Each structure stands twice: as structure tokens, then as C-alpha cells.
Structure 1
Amino acid sequence: METSDIVISVIFLSQTIFGILGNSFLVYHYLMLYFVGSRLKFTDWILQHLIAANFLTLLCKGVPHTVSAFGIKDFLSDIECKLIFYLHRIGRGVSISSTCFLSVFQAITISPKASRWTQLKVKSPSYITSCVYMSWVLSFIVNIFFPMYITARWYDKNMTHLKVFQFCAAVQHDKTFNIISAVYISIPDVLLMLLMLWSSGYMVCILYRHKQRMKHIHRSNFSFRFSPEFRATKTILLLVSTFVFFYTISCLLQINLALTLTTNSLWVNLASVASACFPTVSPFLVICR
């Protein structure tokens, strides 16, 4: 193996191990709370869906890429390739929707009582519950065409019409079809990203206005700064900013791969590393907060 292959192998292996350990610790934490009868917050319920999406992303991309990076090729069957790519796309979709709904719910929760969000505070849990479950359904539907174009590398010996990746391949299409496909799968993500950025900006404005009002009242400022709502808001803002950073990099790399007719192993590896960064880092952000 070349030095670059060893470095990529170590990165994939580290991401997979630490990501699975971090998310497993959160699963253990919530199971313990469940068994002792503790009442969880609604944000914890959304986080549980985010954890499930993290596991899908890490297991369906991190593990196969780690095996492939260590030099084992053509180890997946045609059905396994289709299933892995499909489940990874579902995990990716639920990850962005869960992070978005987490941000929106917290923005509604900390909004002032005199604002127009007052009526939504009571009904928001039921609305967001429906939206979270609907995000799973939409991810299944939007990404249903992925298995149609993904195949094992060894399944079709005619490589001239295949775009070969590390351990699987995709049916080659013209550039127009690639652009239309990229736009189609990006529309839901872009809408959720805009909603996420809007709700995060709204939370930042609320915190800033409150700080300006209370900066001369040290006692109130101190109590608010260390309140559960303030800590939860800072944690969610940290999660959102981390997600936007890694997702933007991953999205740019994915678009580059979708629009090019030939694949480069370096770009494929970079895209895979970027897509696994948030599922790896996010559980540790939650644990530390």
C-alpha cells in the first residue's frame, strides 16, 4: 500500500471507531434514563433520531470505505451495494432534517412570550413529531432511484458505461442527466438548510437582545446564562454550525463527483471523509455539553 492509502485507511478507521463509540455512549445514556424512569426533553427525542441517522451513515459508508481503503476490493454483492448506498442517503437526509427540526424547536421554545410564536409553543411538539417521521418517509421516497443506478464493480464487466467508485459503481449518464439529478436531490436539503440557518439566526438575535437588556442586571444575567434553556440553545447552535460547515464541504465534493464523467479516488475519499465528519463529531459535542 502507498503512504496516501495508509493515511486514508487510518482516517476512515478512526472516524468509524470513534463515531460508533460516541453514538453508542449516547444510546447507552438514553437507555439508562429510560430504565430509571427519567423524563426526557423533546430535544432528546429529536437527538435520538439524529443518533439513528449517524449510525446509518457510519455503518453504510465508514465501514465499507475502511475495508476498501485497506486494499480489499469487490467484497460487496450487487444487492449489498444498492442497499448500502440507499441507506446512506436515507441517513444523510434524516441527519439534516433532525438537525433542522432541533434548531426550529429550540427557536420556538426560547422565543419571547409576546412574540407570534406563543401559540406554537404548545403545539410545536406534535407538529415537529409529524415532521420528523415524515422526514424518514421522504428520505425513503426521494432516494428510491439510487438503487436503480448503483451496482457492484464486478457485476458488469463493461466498465465503459460505469462510473467506478471505491467498492461500487454507478451507471454512467450524460452531463444533463447528472445536473438534473443533482438539482432534484439537493432541493429538500437546500430548503432544510435555509430553515436551519433562519432559526439559528433567530436564536442568536434572541440571545443577543436578552444580553443587551440584562447586562446591567447582573443577577438576572447570571441566572439566564446558566439556565437549562441557555445551555441547550448554545449546544444546538454549536451542532448546527458544525453540521453546516461539514455538510457544505461534503455537498460541494458530492456535486463535483456527480458532474464529472470520470472519478478520481482522491475526490471520492475526500467526499466520504467529509460526509462522516458530522456523525463522528456530533455525539461528542452533545456529551461535552
Structure 2
Amino acid sequence: MYKYNILSRFIGVQYIVFFEVSIGVIANMVLLLFHVLKFLLEHRPKPTDLIIGHLALIHAGMLLTLGFIAIDIFGFQKLEDDIACKCVIYLHRLMRGLSVCTTCLLSVCQAITLSPRSSCLAKFKQKSLQQNLYCFVFIWAFNMLINGHFLISTVTTSNVTLGSLMFVTRSCSFLPISSSLKYTSISLLSFQHMTFIGLMALSSGYMVILLCRHKRQSQHLHSTSLSPKASAEQRATRIILVLMNLFIVMYILDNIISSTSYMLWNFDQIRLCIQILVGNGYATISPLVLMRTERVMTFFRSK
């Protein structure tokens, strides 16, 4: 446990982690409340409203569980039993998986929204809201399944005496699991990341093509009645593209760090600090970026 004593000396890191959690939870709750009210009050809410609200809910839960993990890591309070450890670790990993899936869904839905009527994606526009509900059910079931092994392998450190535990927090650890189960879990997680990030990259590339095409067409148009709408679509799409790029960079870095720890089956306090800050930075920054998108769209609608 001496490694945790070294970690507890990083007072600056503690402040940064709790500041990140606090800002992220507040921003995501504000974004969630905004989209809940928007979904209830508007006659025809956009399909992306439901996705953004779902993403805000996931990130709020992800950061709240991170808060419990950080409290245990830095020694403020321990997670007392196996049930607490299993719930906190499992929920945090579940929210991480749901984050990548929902962000991918947001990117695909935005690409469908921007697609012209002549596109093959245009037929999905009227059914997007219902399809989103089906997608939510699928990604929840899928992520609950592939993260289920954390409910088995997570234990309270004080309840076991094995020397081959992988420490996750001061109180919680991972039990050694069979090679087949470990590599099956890694393969499923890798498949998930590659599939959804690939879809995200394709939809982002498609939106870039649409923006470039729109830019060329707008050079030949001088109608002032169309310019506010076109400008709003361009600005909102560019902000979402920034969000997609931010997600891909931070999620790849986080998975490189976590996969290294999981494959080597060891604990390193420096790696853990970096993973906490990088892995949860997207959940903190994304609501601020998305709220900027809403301000842009509201501004142009009011003109």
C-alpha cells in the first residue's frame, strides 16, 4: 500500500481531479435539464436533443462514480464492502462504454440531419427519434454484457490475501482471471471501440464533405433569407466535428493507458493519475462544447 502513500502526496492532482469532477457534473446536469425541458416543451424536438440529453446523463453518472473512486484513491473514505466496490467500478466502466456509443450515435444522427433529400440517408430522417430509442436499448444491453466481468473480478482488497491482485483503488482490486476470459473481454472492448469510432470517423468525414459542398454552393448564392440557416448549420456542425475529434484523441489515449495496465496486470500511481485526468476530460469538456452549439443555434433562430 506504500504506492498509495506516494499518490496521496500529489495534492495538486487531487484538487485538479475534484475540480474536473465538480465542473463536469454541474455542466452535464445543466445540459441534461435544458434538453429535458426542450424535449417536453417543443412540439417537434430534434432527434439530436434526445441523444445529447442521454449523453449528458451518462457523463454525469460517469463523473459521479469517478468521484467515489477518487475519494477512495486519495484516502478520504474507503469503500467498505464487495458490493460497493463492484457497483462503483462496474458503473464507471459501463458509463465509459455508453459514452463512446452515444457519441457515435450523435455523430451519425447529425450526419443524417445534414444529408440532402437526394441522399440515401434521407429516408432515416423521419424515423430517427424512434430508431434512437431502439439504439439506446441495444447499446445499454451490449455494454452491460461486455462489462459484466467487472462484477465478478472486483473485490474488496481487505477481504482477500492473494498477492497477485491488481489494485484499482485503495479498497478495491481486480482478482486474477483466466487468460481466455481476459483476452475475450479485451477483444470485445477492442471490437466495440474500433466499430463505433470507425462509424464516428465515417460520419464525421461525410459531414466534412457536406460542409465543403455547401461552401462551394454558397459562393453562388446571395439570398439573405437563406444565409442565417446555412450559417447556423455550418457552425453547429463544425462544433460537433470538434467534439468528435476531441473524443477520438482523448479516448484513444485513455484506452492505451488502461490497456497497458490491464495487460501488464500492475498498478502505477503516475499512470493512474494521468488516466483519471485524460479519461474523464471528455466528459467534462463535452457539455461545455454542446452548450455552445445550442447558443449558436438559438442565436440564428432568433434572427
Distance 1:230 1:125 in 2: 22
Shift of residue 134 of structure 1?
A: 1.3
Question: Residue in 2 aligned with 1:162?
Answer: 165
Pick aligned residue for 1:217 from 203, 221, 224: 221
Q: In structure 2, how many angstroms separate the alpha carbons of the residues matched to 1:51 and 1:96? A: 12
For structure 1, the residue ranges without an aligned partner over 5 or more in a row are none
Q: CA deviation at 1:118?
A: 2.5
Q: Which residue of 1 aligns with 2:300?
A: none
Q: 1:257 aligns with which of 261, 266, 285?
A: 261
Go from structure 1 to structure 2 and tell me whether the alpha carbon gap of 1:124 and 1:38 turns closer, same or farther (over 3 Å shift). closer
Q: How many residues align?
A: 285
Q: CA deviation at 1:46?
A: 0.6
Q: CA deviation at 1:271?
A: 1.4
Q: What's 2:279 paired with?
A: 275
Cα offset for 1:267?
1.0
Opposite residue 118 of structure 1, the aligned amino acid is A
Q: Which residue of 2 aligns with 1:27?
A: 32
- Alignment equivalent of 1:78, drawn from 77, 82, 85: 82
- 1:101 correspondence with 2:105: yes
Match of 1:59 in 2: 64
Preserved CA contact (<8 Å) 1:239 1:282: yes
Match of 1:240 in 2: 244
Aligned with residue 46 of structure 2, among 20, 41, 45: 41
Q: What is the percent sequence identity of the aligned residues?
A: 27
Given that 1:9 and 1:69 are in contact with CA atoms closer than 8 Å, whether structure 2 keeps it comes out as: no
The one-letter code sitting in structure 1 at the alignment partner of 2:168 is F
Taking structure 1 as reference, are residues 181 and 113 closer, same or farther at Cα in structure 2, changes over 3 Å only?
same
Q: TM-score, normalised by structure 1?
A: 0.89
Give, in whole Å, the separation in 2 of the partners of 1:113 and 1:163. 54
Match of 1:14 in 2: 19
One-letter identity of the residue aligned with 2:191 = I
TM-score where L is the length of structure 2: 0.86
Partner of 1:232, secondary structure, is helix
Distance (Å, rounded) in 1 between the aligned partners of 2:131 and 2:255 = 28
- Cα shift readout 1:12-67 (whole Å, capped 9, x = no counterpart): 111111011101212332344466x23432111111110111022101123321x1
The structural deviation recorded for 1:211 is: 0.5
The alignment partner of 1:76 has SS state of: coil
Choose the corresponding residue for 2:146, options 142, 145, 150.
142
Task: Write the letter of the residue equivalent to 1:133.
Answer: V
Distance in 2 between residues matched to 1:9 and 1:94, nearest whole Å: 26
- State the alpha-carbon separation in 2 of the partners of residues 107 and 209 from structure 1: 14
Q: Cα RMSD (Å) of the superposition?
A: 2.3
- Deviation track 1:122-161 (CA, whole Å, cap 9, x = no partner) reads 23332232112211111111111111001112121x2412
1:113 match: 117
Cα distance in 2 for partners of 1:108, 1:27 equals 23
**Which residue of 132, 137, 154 maps to 2:136?**
132
Contact 2:112–2:124 at 8 Å: present in 1 too?
yes
1:91 corresponds to which letter in structure 2? M
- Which one-letter code corresponds to 2:289 in the other structure? L
Answer whether contact 2:109 2:128 (CA < 8 A) is retained: yes
* Corresponding residue number in structure 1 for 2:186: 182
- Give 1:219 shift: 3.8
